[in-house]
Amino acid sequence: MKPPVTDHLSQDCRAVSEILARVGDKWSVLIIMRLSDGPKRFSRLQQMIGNISHKMLSTTLRGLERDGLVTRTVHPTVPPQVEYSLTELGHDLTVPVNALGEWALRNQDKIRAARAQFDARQEFEVKAS
């Protein structure tokens, strides 16, 4: 007997949600954007991103590496130099990430205005009740 269509769609939604949770979080997007023009050392990435902690950068890079988006290369120097770069899959992801970033920049004023309008309505409804 075939599983119901809803089971299949539910599995697809879970898979998509899991992937989007990884690639859509704040730090992953910034790391992918910073690596799009070539490999970077850990400390350089941290400088470029700004207010990311050492632990958060390390955790996020590890997750991106696990998902096949980033590769970690250790150079045999003293001390060892570690570089991170995008894989082919990671480079493929830069297209939608950059498109989404450009969309956000183009529409930030509209979104800010919509939020202010929504918040004002909410505040009015709270006061009215």
| pLDDT tens per residue across span 88-100 | 999 999 999 888 8
β-strand pairing of 81-86 with 70-75: antiparallel
CATH number, residue 118: 1.10.10.10
In this predicted structure, the answer to whether residue 2 has a pLDDT above a threshold of 70 is no
What is the number of structural domains in the chain?
Answer: 1
On whether the CB atoms of residues 37 and 7 are closer than 8 A, the answer is no
* pLDDT tens, position by position, 63-106: 999 999 999 999 999 988 999 999 999 999 999 988 888 898 89
How many helices (H) and strands (E) the chain has is answered by 5, 3
pLDDT beyond 60 at 5: no
CA pseudo-torsion sign 26, 27, 30, 33: negative
- Res 59 pLDDT > 90: yes
Range of the domain at 103: 5-128
Say whether pLDDT at 120 is over 60: yes
Is residue 94 within 8 A of residue 86, CB to CB? The reply is yes
Within 8 A by CB and 6+ apart from 13, the residues are: none
This prediction has a pTM of 0.75
Residue count of the chain: 129
21-46 pLDDT per residue, tens: 877 788 998 999 999 999 999 999 99
